[in-house]
Amino acid sequence: MDRRKLPVVSTISRALSQMKSEEVEKVRSLSRSLVVEGLKREWLTRLTFGCDDSVLSTNEHAEGTAVGFKKAKTGACSCYPPFCTAAQTVKFFDVYNRPGNVCDSNGADQFMVECFKQAKNVRVGIVESVLF
């Protein structure tokens, strides 16, 4: 696929911001299924998930954000999503959006369990996780 034909991040963000939460979940599901199909073609014997989270500040209040703790931008609204990548291929597997004022463990366990459930579709011998 020619990367020049892919939409830029701001275009994707605008499209997602206009969707209802059910529609965003469908996009997440489609994205995961495309990554699973790509991983199947890799013929991996072991699948390692790298799991981490990151604070993303916004310039204004947006749905799903809250004022959180970030030294560089005190008082700014942010979100604090955990994300998961397939370490062998550096493919982005999934992300779970949450407001910036939550503990880093909030919802992370359910998010990781869901990633592991989806990994069963890849049909590899061993699935493991590395937390950053």
What is the reported pTM? 0.66
**pLDDT of 31:** 85
Structural domain range at position 104:
3-131
Q: What are phi and psi of 88, to 5 degrees?
A: -65, -30
Q: Is the pLDDT of residue 70 over 60?
A: no
**pLDDT of 95:** 81
3-state secondary structure of 81: coil
The mean pLDDT value for 100-124 works out to 77
Into how many domains does the chain fold?
1
pLDDT tens digits along 17-62: 777 878 888 888 888 888 888 888 888 888 888 888 776 666 665 5
**pLDDT of 117:** 85
- What is the C-alpha separation between 41 and 119, in angstroms, rounded? 14
For 56, the enclosing helix (H) or strand (E) is strand 56-57
**pLDDT of 78:** 65
- What is the C-alpha separation between 109 and 114, in angstroms, rounded? 9
pLDDT tens digits along 82-106: 788 888 887 888 887 766 566 667 7
Q: What are phi and psi of 74, to 5 degrees?
A: -60, 130
